[in-house]
Amino acid sequence: MPGYSTNEWTKYISLEMGEIEICDVTLRDGEQTPGVAFTREEKIDIARMLDEIGIEIIEAGFPATSQGEKESVKAIASLGLNAKICCLSRAIKSDIDAVIDCGADMVGMFVGTSDLHLKYKHKKTQDEIIDCAVEALEYAKRHGLIVRFSPEDGSRTGLDFLKRFYRAGEEAGADYVGAIDTVGIMTPATMRFMVGEILKTVKLPIAVHCHNDLGMAVANTLAAAEAGAKQLHTTTNGIGERAGNAALEEVLMNLRIQYGVDKYDTTRITDLSRMVQKYSGICMAKNKAIVGDHAFAHESGIHIAALLENDRTYEVFSPELVGGKREFILGKHSGSKALCYMARQMGYTLSEAETTQVLCEIKRLSELKKSIRRNELKDLIDHVVGQKFNTPEASAP
């Protein structure tokens, strides 16, 4: 039996899933999270682990923002990783020069295309913005960079203009075009439609970049992949500006379980998550999918009894697959099987009466909002069982 269950329902739907690659943007968009600033050493640690997992592209930063950022990107580009190193750039020559100076392989070049961005940020017409973007693209290509040509706020850009933008990028030599949901407004249905329209317009691979403002970044990323997008953008733990980006750990595990994409070493996911939590100062919710403290924690007696027979009954994949650990927690919903199992793991064999007594105490404590973990159970058993042998009746001659 594999370490995970597969989704049998996918056989009923038509998918366009092709050759997928991940571009992780933790070191760039993740660092745009308010209050987050990685040191050069922290960036290097994260980049190395992303590379060990098998991530194909690491977006190492936005070198035009500061000299320190530029030096960090240079350091990552010089590590000799298997992953290609990408940098973000506006569609201006000085930004591209900074990318070139870093020794990066790829540039993610962007310019705002929605009416809002054209009017209030760029103060340019549609034709003017295309001319600027194409000029910058051609400059980057002349200097040997792989170019991802992206319309910022593309998901709020009119379709006709969006198609003109993509065609101009293809004609100028872009290597990728971006389906960019800058403000997280898309749904899986609209994302599939958008990717489908791009595929009708150009023959270039599509990179999808989703934000989580409405809580659908991962779903939209997977929908784009189903529709034919190749490059999926993620951040570790889903960090990023505002509500964040598509979470790397959720995208990777969905790719494996839903679509059978198993080319990534997912056993490093939990270690990477904890590293990024430590370096960013942003802790995950206990119930966070894949990497939360409760992702493999079970309290229900019905669930635990079944898990002891076969762990697939209440887990879609084993915790070892992501470097996690299963944990049984005792509380008001727990039963004797879970208690006796945990007690045996610690070397105790409880009688039926002792089991009942300990379980009653566990349920009493749970009413006080207290759950019992393994390290606390030993003290509880010692206390309850010890009381049995220290009553006046038991000590009488």
Note the pLDDT tens digit of each residue in 201-237. 999 999 999 999 999 999 999 999 999 999 999 999 9
- In the prediction, which pLDDT does 88 show? 98
- What integer pLDDT is reported at residue 396 of this predicted model? 39
> What pLDDT is attached to residue 387?
60
* pLDDT value at residue 394: 37
CA distance 109 to 62: 10
At residue 388, the pLDDT reads: 55
Structural domains in the chain, CATH included, are: 13-280 (3.20.20.70), 297-392 (no CATH)
**How many other CB atoms sit within 10 Å of the CB of residue 224?**
30
User: Closest by alpha carbon to 108, among 23, 228, 210, 186?
Assistant: 23
Residue 390 pLDDT: 44
Residue 1, pLDDT score: 43
Query: How do beta strands 146-152 and 106-112 pair?
Result: parallel
Q: What is the pLDDT of residues 4-42, one digit of tens each?
A: 888 888 878 766 677 899 999 999 999 999 999 999 999
pLDDT of amino acid 330: 82
pLDDT, tens digit, for every residue of 177-204? 999 999 999 999 999 999 999 999 999 9
The 3 state secondary structure assigned to the chain is CCCECCCHHHHHCCCCCCCCEEEECCCCCHHHCCCCCCCHHHHHHHHHHHHHHCCCEEEEECHHHCHHHHHHHHHHHCCCCCCEEEEEEECCHHHHHHHHHHCCCEEEEEEECCHHHHHHHHCCCHHHHHHHHHHHHHHHHHCCCEEEEEEECHHHCCHHHHHHHHHHHHHCCCCEEEEEECCCCCCHHHHHHHHHHHHHHCCCCEEEEEECCCCCHHHHHHHHHHHCCCEEEEEHHHCCCCCCECEHHHHHHHHHHHHCCCCCCHHHHHHHHHHHHHHHCCCCCCCCCCCCCCCCEECCHHHHHHHHHCHHHCCCECHHHHCCCCEECECCCCCHHHHHHHHHHCCCCCCHHHHHHHHHHHHHHHHCCCCECHHHHHHHHHHHHHHHCCCHHHHCC
pLDDT at position 393: 41
**Whether the model pTM is above 0.75:** yes
- The ranges of the chain with pLDDT < 70 are 1-2, 14-16, 387-397
**Tell me, what's the pLDDT at 360?**
85
